[in-house]
Chain A
Amino acid sequence: MADTQTVKLKIKRQDGPKAQAHWEEFEIPYKSGMNVISAMMDIAANPVTKDGKTTTPIAYDSNCLEEICGSCAMLINGKARMACSALVKNLEQPITVEPLSKFPLVRDLAVDRNVLFENLKKVKAWVPVDGTYDLGSGPRVTPQKQEQAYPLSNCISCTICMEVCPQFNESTGFVGAATISQVALFNDHPTGAVLKEERLHALMGDGGIHECGYAQNCVESCPKGIPLTRSISRVAGQVMLQTVKDIFSR
């Protein structure tokens, strides 16, 4: 039989946070350009397992399908990556798909990544421009500074850098590379810099920048190619200078 090409997937399912996890296998027709998300869309259109058992569509987060929204991070063949840019033709089959392992599970492949949002709030990862009157235009940002800031501004909050980090775990409560890199970004910004000391002090708290063990998995796996270790080293230097300043001026 000149069989039409098929795709085999093995997907970890879990009905809710407290439910038992189990695996389901699927075999669906291949379409050109297929990625892991579009494969799961096809499964949703016809939710039948490989053994012909009817099941529910798979729950997962996704949105833009062009690696820009950061929603669809999951473990594909054991590695954390964006499902939308995981092209089926480049993957070994059966493709195993699991939820990120370090975040509270919501359902199937959907996890609660709120901790990153909390961390960004803790370090005040923003430029403070709110006021009761028009503050006028801010200081000029030189093209050189823009060039330095641009790669860091590419962060899509996918949390892959945290998932792959050996130091990001329940024991350390490490803040993770994404947040530290945002500190680098906002400390560089001429208006954002007013909060620099507060950010550095925040990163000295438990779970702060010192928990980094420099295994460098974060840069290896960042889908946006953000120079995360450079950010960590830079901010670590700022934290050390701040420490010296504190010792002599507090």
Chain B
Amino acid sequence: MSTAVSPGPSSTTSANDHPQGIAPLRAGQGHEFFWRRLHSLTGIIPVGAFLFEHILISNATAINGATAYAHQVRFLGSLPFVLGLELLGIWLPIAFHALYGFYIWYRGRANLISYPWMGNWMYSLQRWSGAIAFAYIIWHTYTMRFTGVDLHEVPGASFGKVQHELFVTPLFLFYVIGLVAASWHFAYGIWLFCAKWGITVGERARQKFLYICIAFFFLLSAVGLASMTKFRSTPQQCTDQPCADQIEQAK
């Protein structure tokens, strides 16, 4: 009987004396489906949900001034199991999404030069924007969370601590680029998610939803920029202990 067998390393038939080429589907084998879908899901929940909160709620309170900002930071720092929330709700999912994202990138063969079409551009942009966001996130977490004043201890120092960074113009530009990259990556990521999970099935549905996602990108970027502008346009606030506590306690 001559049923087709899965290509083994030792196929000696004369018909097969040319290279094997790309493997056919491994039906019923492997766990990539799980990891790939988990990557997709972590992009929305919790990483995307966190980004939403971080830009549109927490950092937007900076627009209401140093005291409001301090209160928001105090609130976040006072959540039960903060460290557990940070670890399992943010750091681990981002680390997974980012590292697996690089792995996905590494396994793709971009072909923009031959096929310079919209969707193909977006495919590459999703990877580059992820990489930029990654560099930014590492820097941002390192300086804001792990060095300098501990804002969980001294929430009043938050506004001033951010200002120290944003008054350095190259750093401010890095923040702007990081914001725009992360916002695009998330906004287009929502569109990708809906296309890949069978939510937006029709061409028109996908087209319309793209407009909504682009609008969402502008919203994220605009609110983020407004917050940053507020930091830059306010005189430098103090970050040392008695003075910072006064900011926190002011009305």
Contact = CB atoms under 8 A, between A and B. Distances in A.
Interface string A206-227: 1110111111110011000001
B21 A115 contact: yes
A221 B115 CA distance: 9
A210 B33 contact: yes
A208 B25 contact: yes
A218 B171 CA distance: 41
A214 B195 contact: yes
Contacts of B122: 215
Nearest to B19: A104
Interface stretch (A60-68, A119-127, A137-145): A119-127
A234 interface: yes
Nearest to A207: B25
Interface string A95-138: 00000001111100000100100110111000000000000000
Contacts of A172: 107-108
A232 B203 CA distance: 12
Contacts, number: 170
**DSSP class of B's interface residues: helix, strand, loop or mixed?**
loop
Contacts of B4: 118, 121
B196 A236 contact: yes
A210 B100 CA distance: 14
A214 B196 contact: yes
A81 B197 CA distance: 29
Interface residues of A, number: 61
Contacts of A54: none
Contacts of B17: 17
Interface in B183-239: 192, 195-203, 206
Nearest to A16: B18
Interface centre among B36, B106, B192, B196 (most CB of A within 10 A): B196
Contacts of A211: 32, 36
Nearest to A239: B198
Given A206-B29, A210-B32, A221-B115, A215 B22 contact: no
A210 B192 CA distance: 12
A78 B114 contact: yes
A206 B36 CA distance: 10
Given A166-B111, A217-B119, A233 B198 contact: yes
B4 to A, nearest CB: 7
B6 to A, nearest CB: 9
Interface centre among B31, B107, B110 (most CB of A within 10 A): B107
Interface in A135-171: 164, 166-171
Contact of A79 (B36, B104, B115): B115
Nearest to B126: A213
Contacts of A201: 27-28
A202 interface: yes
A173 interface: yes
B148 interface: no
24 contacts: A78-B114, A102-B22, A104-B19, A105-B19, A106-B18, A112-B21, A164-B115, A170-B22, A171-B107, A205-B33, A206-B30, A207-B26, A207-B32, A208-B25, A208-B27, A208-B33, A216-B118, A216-B123, A217-B119, A220-B115, A220-B119, A233-B201, A236-B195, A238-B198
Interface of B: 4, 17-33, 36-37, 104, 106-111, 114-115, 117-120, 122-123, 126, 192, 195-203, 206
Nearest 5 pairs of A and B residues by beta carbon: A237-B198, A216-B119, A17-B18, A206-B30, A215-B123
